[in-house]
Amino acid sequence: MARTVDSYSRTQKFLHWAIVVLIALQYLGGDFISEFEQRVRSGAVNAGDVPVLAQAHVVLGILTLVLVFWRIALILWRGKPAAPEGEDPRLKMVAHATHGFLYLLLLLVPASGMIGWFGAVSLAVDVHNLLTTLLGLLVILHIAAALFHQLVLRNNLMARNMPKPVMELLAPVFERISDIISDIRGKKT
């Protein structure tokens, strides 16, 4: 089990956001490599003439895998913060499971893509496409949970994982939204 520390280190925060950016780019550019694969299958282009955006998808996928390994190694070596104080045990369980599945998918998505691409295994490509959808759904759940903690539970969870200057910039916005949510909830009860 990972050691408990007060907060994520700068490197852990950097890796989290670098992986977020890489994954966003992969979703945005995923169509280029799919289109290329289809055109190769239909004989419209030569398998060796890989367009630069398809090459970028492969390179960024490998980079994502390296950063995910680095992030996991840092958790094992340095540790990570415990669940927020007073967290409902059911929420704690959901967070634990979501983080576990996120890591699993962050490993399996690039790995299946690499097996599909370098090994020309079409089953691995199908698995890769399915897992990217699952990862997308899990990321939506994860973002919703982070916002729920920040805006409804108001426990400033996002400060643990956000660079300090960004958090200082966003704090008044979060405060304002939290107040609006509190007002709405107050009116309902």
Smallest distance, ligand HEM to C-beta of residue 143, A: 5
Q: Which of 161, 167, 174, 178 forms a contact with ligand HEM (CB under 6 A)?
A: 161
Contact 74/12 with Cβ under 8 angstroms? yes
Least CB distance from residue 77 to ligand HEM, whole Å? 12
**For the residues of 116-165, what is the DSSP string, one character each?**
HHHS--HHHHHHHHHHHHHHHHHHHHHHHHHHIIIIII---GGGGTS-HH
Our CA dihedral for 145, 5, 8, 111, rounded to 10 degrees, sits at: -80
Q: From the list 20, 93, 137, 152, which residue makes contact with ligand HEM (rule: CB under 6 A)?
A: 20
Q: Please check whether residue 43 is in contact with residue 109, taking contact to mean a CB–CB distance below 8 angstroms.
A: no
CB contact at 8 A, 96 and 126: no
Nearer to ligand HEM, 127 or 160 (CB): 160
- Rule CB under 6 A: say whether 131 interacts with ligand HEM: no
CB of 85 to ligand HEM, least distance (A): 12
Binding test (CB under 6 A) with ligand HEM, winner from 15, 57, 117, 160: 160
Among positions 54, 80, 110, 127, the unique one binding ligand HEM when judged by CB under 6 A: 80
What does DSSP say about strands 4-5 and 80-81: parallel, antiparallel, or unpaired? parallel
Asked if residue 33 lies in contact with residue 45, where contact means CB atoms within 8 angstroms, the answer is no
For ligand HEM, the binding residues (CB under 6 A) are 16, 19-20, 23, 75, 80-81, 95, 99, 102-103, 106, 139, 142-143, 146-147, 157-158, 160-161
